[in-house]
Structure 1
Amino acid sequence: MSKKIIITLVTLGVILGASLGVLIWWLLRADELYETIRLEGKGIGDVEYTAAYTRISDQGNMFWWFYPTLSASPTSRPVLMWLHGATGTPPSFLANFGMFGPYDNNINRRNDSWVNDYNLLFVDAPLGTGFSSIVSNNTDDFPDIEQNVEHLLRTLQSFYSLHEEYNNSPIYICGQGDGSQLALSLAIRLSEEKDISGNFKGVILGNPIVSPALVLTKLGFYLEELGYIDEKGRAAIKNLSNTITDLVSSEEYESAFNHFISLGSFINENAGAVAVNLDHIVEKMTRLPNQDYFGEMSYIESEFNMKNNMNDFMDNVVAPALGIEDSVKYDGRRDDAIHAFKKTYMKPNVDKVEHILKNTNLSISIYNGNLDAVSNTPGQLEWINHLEWSGQSDFMNKTRETLIFNNIIEGYFRESERLSFYWINVAGLLVPYDNSIGIRRVLNRIVN
């Protein structure tokens, strides 16, 4: 054998050996990406559940809470994975105790809970919100939306590792408000992954933050038609809208976000609309300054008959019952999480909706409460009615029909095979709370 051939074989051996070493390292590293920690405490109520952390290596702990449905054959029923996003109240409280979990915020059994018909998977995301904690103390280290999507993928793997029986159950990713941004990105990543279990069916978006600057262009029209402002107020809102639109066009998303979250104070102080709660336009308010994002928390506090505020309830009642350590403070780093999302929050996500419609077989279902000014319905239809994909003409040609239950009109709908939109009456941002009957009819149409 020639010296040249020997050298070549030795070189190939070294390369193959190194490659094998890298492969073994990668496989070992994959197992280290996350760890599932099942929480064991005294428990809450008598409804079966799993509460757990998905520990993301060197990042933090993603909290999730799963309730198997009480209906017959649970694994044949859909799993609804519920996300609220950075500015929204965490699902472990709002969706769970506030709107449709097995128990209300006084730990009383809820007779019309969605657990009667669906498997519920509440995930506190992004890291730093709810019970989901982060390792770093540095605000600049907080993960952005795409990094949180990777964490959510690991969380799903973690969920299926404990509940293999749901591997083939239908699953829908649900995003409320700016949770829709996580839901859309997660849907795209999940459709690309072949090693994560689940019979992925579609995305359900509630009052979504998809193209916030575009939706804002209809806010002045919306408020003037309702009589909250006059023509001067509409002109003032138009100026703010133009400023935000220009910032988004220039990709100055963080500055656009800072203007966007000033909507509540701007409208009440500069547009002549005294005491308007943008999340629920008919709620009566005082003229005290609102420190809340768009009025969601003030609405929750006014509606829910709670003995303590949300954080006290979750820290002092729920955390001990689940076996969560005292060092974890509920929603303790929300502001840091929001800071990490400022860079992309105002960036339009219409392209992600179109990507799903063009490149997958998933359905996209959108519902919107008619009393939500931030995600006002005329503004939502501005981007929905101009989506570019092969089924758009079919969607637009469908007749809008009436959503009726017990002779009461709960809303309206336009449905095509892949895209559906639901107008929900007498509801603001919190549609499942404001119109529980209407949203249950909508869910029944979506999953069946």
Structure 2
Amino acid sequence: MECFTKTSSVIILLAYLSMIHASNADMLRYMKHKHSVDEPKQEWDYVEVRSYAHMFYWLYYTTDPAGYEHVPLVMWLQGGPGGSSTGFGNFAEIGPLDIMLKPRNTTWLSAASLLFVDNPVGAGFSYVDNDDAYTTNVDTIARDLLVLLKTFFMEKATQFQSIPFFIFSESYGGKMTAAVSSVLYEAVTTGDIKCNFKGFAMGDSWISPIDSTLGWGSYLYTNSLVDLNGYLEVNSSLEKVAHAIQMGNWTQATEAWGSAQNVVELKSNGVNFYNILQWGGSEPTTEGERLLDRMTKRMLGKLHNDPLSELMNGPIRHKLRIIPEHVVWGGQSDMVFQKQTEDFMKPVTDIVNSLIMNTPLKVVVYSGQLDLIVETTGTEAWVYRLDIAEEFRKAVRIPTLNPSTKLTSGFVQSAKNFSFYWILNAGHMVPSDNGDTALAMLKMVIKTPSTK
């Protein structure tokens, strides 16, 4: 399939002219901003990663005056699984425009070129042609991503082969990042792919699900979100999750995890799992709704809200011009999540540990202070079981300052090629909640001898 590249004026004109079938609201919104937005150079395309499995990517060239040749390339992977990088990551977190198509002051494009990938197949604009083409485990996800990256670096965008390449991620995207980093590093080492892979960062990531989950009760109680009875009931529900994992009943563990979330919502009067200071974050449920359907809605609802869906299925779809008629943005995302049920609660700490100990890659973990679903102490629990833990404990934790306020906005602690960033005033979606600090963290991570 042909890859599209356009200047900002041509993009906006073609997008506007092709919007005659879009809703009036979509058209008005695009008309309002089309004259004031100077879009960066972009490319997008599909890659058939397996038979009947089509993965969509969207590349933005950096706005740094030095040019793309002199700054790194960052791939962003969303969570869920089933969340859309080209949608949520792009327009709600780190891309050049927000959901209202207004310029974002804290876009990561100012420091790097950005590659958004709708992954796994079925997320966002990616799609499958039949039910058998969905992924059911992180290993298949990693292989699919490797096919996409090989196609990208070896065919679609060979100019990026020597550019420092990093992977950043969020939530379940971190689990996928660990897996693809392992196979990508091997492919680079054997010469199967030309890519200057430098490292990866896992934000509020689903690396050891049981550790992230077992901390819920203490976190809620410490922050006055449940009383003592609520704390005990939450912990009781979490014991069922732990038991299922100990027995190797992974599907049962996922279902028990969903049930535990129901207990948390009930006892906390609807705490927002993504940011405990933002209420009303849970998607409304209906009486008699299946547990798996409720879990899917809870995990993907924030990533596929109505304004974002309208934007992606309206102006953006018309702008891209290569989305098949039968493909609805996010239309297969529920199935993506449900297909991963067996694999969802399985840890990938062994992969992370191996990449720290056996490669020169930068390995980064960052965690939002206000996140519940992947709360910080749970992340620290598996980090302190890594082989590098003793050296990491001895390292000095350094405060980081918010570039705008000059106040403390986080901390970082490093040992060898591993770093942990604590991000204050942020929940699960760190760049969305604390954009200044997230951008500062990005710059610290991607700084290499070949970049300024």
TM-score bucket of the superposed structures, by smaller chain: 0.7 to 0.9
- CA distance in structure 2 between the aligned counterparts of 1:74 and 1:316, rounded to whole angstroms: 30
Change in Cα spacing, 1:37 to 1:127, as seen in structure 2 (3 Å) is farther
Report the Cα offset of residue 319 of structure 1: 0.9
Q: Which residue of 2 aligns with 1:380?
A: 379
Deviation at 1:300, TM superposition (A): 6.6
Distance 2:80 2:218 in 1: 28
Q: Could you report, residue by residue, the CA deviation over 1:176-204 in whole angstroms, capped at 9, with x for unpaired residues?
A: 10011110110000111122121111110
Matched, 1:222 2:214: no
Shift in CA distance, 357/286, structure 1 to aligned 2, threshold 3 Å: closer
Structure 2, unmatched stretches of 5+, are: 13-37, 286-293, 448-452
1:143 to 135, 141, 144: 135
Cα 1:417–1:76 change in 2 (3 A) is farther
2:262 is paired with a residue whose SS is: helix
Which residue number corresponds to residue 50 of structure 1?
43
TM-score normalized by structure 1? 0.85
- 1:179-328 equivalences under 5 Å are 179-193=173-187, 194-269=191-266, 272-285=267-280, 289-290=284-285, 291=294, 309-323=307-321, 324-328=323-327
Shift of 1:108: 2.2
Q: 1:19 aligns to what?
A: none
CA displacement, residues 398-446 of structure 1 (integer Å, 9 cap, x when unaligned): 1112111343111111122211111111111110010011111211221
Letter in 2 for 1:176: E
Residue pair 1:267, 1:273 contacting (<8 A) in 2 also: yes
Q: Is the 8 A contact 1:81 1:174 kept in 2?
A: yes
Q: Is the 1:229–1:273 contact (alpha carbons within 8 Å) kept by the matching residues of 2?
A: yes
72-81 or 292-301, which deviates more:
292-301
Match of 2:3 among 38, 52, 56: 38
Q: 2: CA distance between counterparts of 1:276 and 1:115?
A: 33
Note if 1:63 corresponds to 2:52: no
Q: Which residue matches 2:75? A: 81
Q: CA offsets per residue over residues 125-146 of structure 1, 9 Å max, x none?
A: 001110001111x2x5422222
Aligned position for 2:333: 334
**Number of paired residues?**
402
RMSD: 2.2
Name the amino acid aligned to 2:214: T
Aligned mates of 2:156, 2:55 — CA distance in 1 = 15
Provide the C-alpha distance between the structure 2 equivalents of 1:367 and 1:294, rounded to a whole number of angstroms.
Answer: 25
**1:327-406 equivalences in 2 (<5 Å):** 327-388=326-387, 391-405=388-402, 406=405
- Provide Cα deviations, 1:347-373, integer angstroms capped at 9, x if missing partner: 111111111112211121011101111
Alpha-carbon distance in structure 2 between the residues aligned to 1:319 and 1:104? 16
| Contact 1:87–1:293 (8 Å) recurs in 2 | no
The structure with the largest alpha-carbon Rg is: 1
> Whole-Å Cα distance in 2 between the matches of residues 398 and 313 of structure 1?
45
Paired residue type of 1:143: T
What amino acid maps onto 1:312 in structure 2? E
Structure 1 consecutive aligned stretches of length 4 or more whose deviation exceeds 3 Å: 39-42, 85-88, 286-302
Equivalent residues of 2:296, 2:338 under 8 A apart: no
Supply the distance in 1 between the matched residues of 2:396 and 2:297 (Cα, whole angstroms). Answer: 33
Correspondence for 1:447: 446
- Report the equivalent of 2:163: 169
Q: How far apart in 1 are the matches of 2:232 and 2:436?
A: 37
Contact 1:88-1:178 within 8 A present in 2 as well: no
Correspondent of 1:115 among 109, 113, 126 = 109
* Contact 1:428/1:434 (8 A) holds in 2: yes
Name the SS of the counterpart of 1:241 in structure 2. Answer: helix
**Separation of aligned partners in 2, 1:287 and 1:147:** 30
Pairs within 5 Å for 1:405-416: 405=402, 406-416=405-415
Q: 8 Å contact 2:83–2:333 — kept in the other structure?
A: no
Aligned residue number for residue 148 of structure 2: 155
2:399 aligned counterpart, secondary structure = strand
The one-letter code matched in structure 1 to 2:216 is L
Give the letter aligned to residue 100 of structure 1. Answer: I
Instruction: Tell me the distance in 2 between the aligned counterparts of 1:184 and 1:57.
Output: 21
2:237, 2:259 within 8 Å by CA — same for their partners in 1? no
Q: Which has the higher contact order (CA 8 A, sep 6+)?
A: 2
8 Å contact kept, 2:400–2:411 = yes
Q: CA separation of 1:242/1:200 partners in 2, compared to 1, >3 Å: closer, same or farther?
A: same
Q: What SS class does the counterpart of residue 93 from structure 1 fall into?
A: helix
Match of 2:172 in 1: 178
Structure 1 stretches lacking a partner, 5+ long: 1-35, 303-307
Residues 280 and 299 in structure 1, CA contact (< 8 A), matched pair in contact too: no
Q: Distance in 2 between the 1:434 and 1:166 partners?
A: 30
CA–CA separation in structure 2 for the residues paired with 1:371 and 1:293: 22
Cα displacement (A) at 1:87? 3.3
